[in-house]
Amino acid sequence: MGELATANKVHVMVSYWWSRGDGLANHQLGQILTRTSGVDEFDITDPQSIDRALRIAVTDPAVLAELDGWWQMAETRRAGNNTRNPGLGLDASIRYLTDRLDADTVTPEAVGECRRQVTAVDQTIIGAKDLPELTHPDAEMLDLLARYLEARSRVLALA
């Protein structure tokens, strides 16, 4: 594989595994990019910022090798499971459910929408059950899960 093809592959793979939302792995990526990308400021949570930093970083062969090792470590850490960190969308799902449940009138259509949302979130959580975010949850994840279970229970209690 040529240098350009290798740089492109590493860029894509790092972007992909970054987008899975593994907080610890992404923290390590942030340290690599801060140290090596030559970008004064970048935001580890912003896709455009990550893309800019990676475009610069992959031009240095030593950094390219480090980033190649990083994405392989992230893939291994997640056992190849490409499910996103469920915590990334959980707050929005909770708001979606509670907004509909707290409405003046809860229509049968709204109940159906809420049940579909619960099914989707449940599937995401099941798909992520072996990931670091759920096997070793932090206080924020525990809070999100507790809030989700409360909203989920409200939905399932509706006939």
Per-residue pLDDT tens over the stretch 59-118: 999 999 999 999 999 999 999 898 999 999 999 999 999 999 999 899 999 999 999 999
54 plus 92 within the same structural domain: no
Q: Is 82 within the bounds of a domain? A: no
Q: Is 128 within the bounds of a domain? A: yes
119 plus 61 within the same structural domain: no
7 plus 73 within the same structural domain: yes
Q: How many domains does the chain have?
A: 2
66 plus 100 within the same structural domain: no
8 plus 50 within the same structural domain: yes
Q: Is 43 within the bounds of a domain? A: yes
145 plus 109 within the same structural domain: yes
Rounded Cα distance, 84 and 19, in Å: 7
pLDDT tens string 114-157: 999 999 999 999 999 999 999 999 999 999 999 999 999 999 99
7 plus 69 within the same structural domain: yes
pTM value is 0.79
